[in-house]
Chains A and B, each alone.
Chain A
Amino acid sequence: MSPSSLPQAKILPATTAASSNVSLERQLVRNLAQRSDRPALLWLASWLTALAVSGYLLYLTTATSSTLLFLAAALLLGSILTVPSYAISHECAHGTAFRTRWLNETCLWIGSLLYFEEPYHRRYSHTRHHTYTWHVGKDSQMPFDTPMTLKGWLLEISGIALVIYETKVFARNALGKFSPQTRGFTPENTLGKLKWGARACILIYATLIILLVRGETWVWTYLLLPRLLGGPVMLLFTLLQHVELKENSPSILESTRSFTTSAIGRWLYMNMNNHIEHHLYPQVPFYALDKLRQAVENQVPPPDKGFWRTNLEVLSVVVRRSLGMGTKARGLRQAAHMVVSAAEAKKGKTSPFAHKTTL
């Protein structure tokens, strides 16, 4: 019997390599998807070392009278704390970072607490993001309006949108009053885990606040302030994943962006700059993404050039869009409907919203 004659109702049209007309030999994908604890343990050791060194630098600045030096050191620690906390939380939500399950689950909790999302919600909402990548009303992780405006960019990059959204999720889930969206992507018999997970997180966050109120200033200096300052750096990485690209497409190639970045950027982000490749084959762990990129490079668009350059292009586009100017970017890959020419903009043409968030 051929696969096409199987009952199609059972097979959801998930956004995958198949829906994107990308194919690799099955054995190659299986080889790339093989698991080992070693790469993630080495990465974890390097992360902890970097945290200790940057934390010590911050400690040294507290002995000086320079506020600028202190804030620069806090930003450094914050970037090293926050970008990897997103990355390890994401990788462990997939369960691909480590071969050993308990290592995945432990790092999922630590990463998600730092990122500010309840770990089980993180896992389940992310499953829906992969099933319906950038599909309006179906993808549970479309955090900003598309096309993006300057207001949307500021809400997103400042972390305000994330904090408001996740605070509501924590509160609702802890009370057991799950949103229709949460019920949509979470199996009924798993909702209890989300409820108790949210309660555990709130307890941990409340403990930190109580410690701070009781005069434990290290909570502010080495955790909260760096997390606040590092948040925008993390969100500049995650913003590039889908911004300015096509909604509601079955093809990952149209909805998702890969970009080049430095060795430090790849380390901080656990190679997730290869984002098209990750969505095509989510079973491939972070340490095999470079090999996967090489395997599919003749089937996917070239990556956008550089973390800073791509972000500046995005910012330029959203500013011009908000000012009623043309939105064609020079180097940024954009969906056709995101682009309004300067002449069209003068006549008052704008790109209609495809997706509106509700904060």
Chain B
Amino acid sequence: MATQDSEWIFVDTVDALDEEDFMRFDHGGETYILYKVKGEMFATDGLCTHEAQHLEDGVLIGHIIECPLHQGRFDIRSGKCAGGPVCEHLNTYRVKIEGDKLFIEL
């Protein structure tokens, strides 16, 4: 979540993500996922809140990201759990595009 101390961190160029695509981004000892769905960009924590499996190998179903290990589901717009076995929400982050560059607010 953005705080007063948050800053915009450069991730990649916008063409790194195709439509209905997602990518991993590591920064400051933490790991995140950026998504592009229906032209909109989203970002969440990278690790599933259930057993810390990385979501980069998961399945994107509309606005739902599904964990590859136990198939726990989260809505990438809100980070909220969308199906067991997960029961803790993911943190979400703001994303912006400047020119052809993609930034995440951390």
> What is the size category of the interface that chain A forms with chain B?
20 to 34
List chain B positions with a Cβ less than 8 A from chain A.
Answer: 26-31, 47, 50-54, 56-61, 66-71, 73, 82-85, 87-88
- Would A123 and B84 count as touching, CB distance under 8 A? yes
Closest CB in chain B relative to A27 CB, distance in Å: 9
Closest to B52 in A: A10
- Would B27 and A127 count as touching, CB distance under 8 A? no
Closest to B26 in A: A1
Alpha-carbon distance between A101 and B73 when the two chains are bound, in angstroms: 10
- Would A190 and B84 count as touching, CB distance under 8 A? yes
Please name all residues of chain B whose beta carbon is closer than 8 Å to the beta carbon of A282 when the two chains form the complex. Answer: 68-71
- CB-defined A-B contacts under 8 Å, sample of 8: A11-B53, A16-B69, A26-B56, A33-B68, A35-B61, A127-B50, A187-B87, A283-B59
Contact status of A6 and B50, CB under 8 A, knowing A26-B56, A130-B70? no
Task: Select which of B31, B51, B57, B71 is within 8 A of A95 by beta carbon.
Answer: B71
- Would A26 and B61 count as touching, CB distance under 8 A? no
- Would A14 and B66 count as touching, CB distance under 8 A? no
Closest to A1 in B: B26
Contact status of A10 and B73, CB under 8 A, knowing A3-B26, A26-B56, A30-B59? no
- Would B85 and A123 count as touching, CB distance under 8 A? yes
Closest CB in chain A relative to B88 CB, distance in Å: 8
Task: Select which of A1, A26, A187, A189 is within 8 A of B57 by beta carbon.
Answer: A26
Alpha-carbon distance between A2 and B69 when the two chains are bound, in angstroms: 21
Closest CB in chain A relative to B37 CB, distance in Å: 14
Please name all residues of chain B whose beta carbon is closer than 8 Å to the beta carbon of A11 when the two chains form the complex. Answer: 47, 52-54
Closest to B27 in A: A1
- Would A127 and B29 count as touching, CB distance under 8 A? no
Alpha-carbon distance between A101 and B27 when the two chains are bound, in angstroms: 33
Task: Select which of B29, B30, B68, B73 is within 8 A of A281 by beta carbon.
Answer: B68
Closest to B46 in A: A6
- Would B71 and A283 count as touching, CB distance under 8 A? yes
Please name all residues of chain A whose beta carbon is closer than 8 Å to the beta carbon of B87 when the two chains form the complex. Answer: 187, 189-190
Interface string of A189-217 (1 = CB under 8 A from B): 11000000000000000000000000000
User: Cβ of A181 < 8 Å from any Cβ of B?
Assistant: no
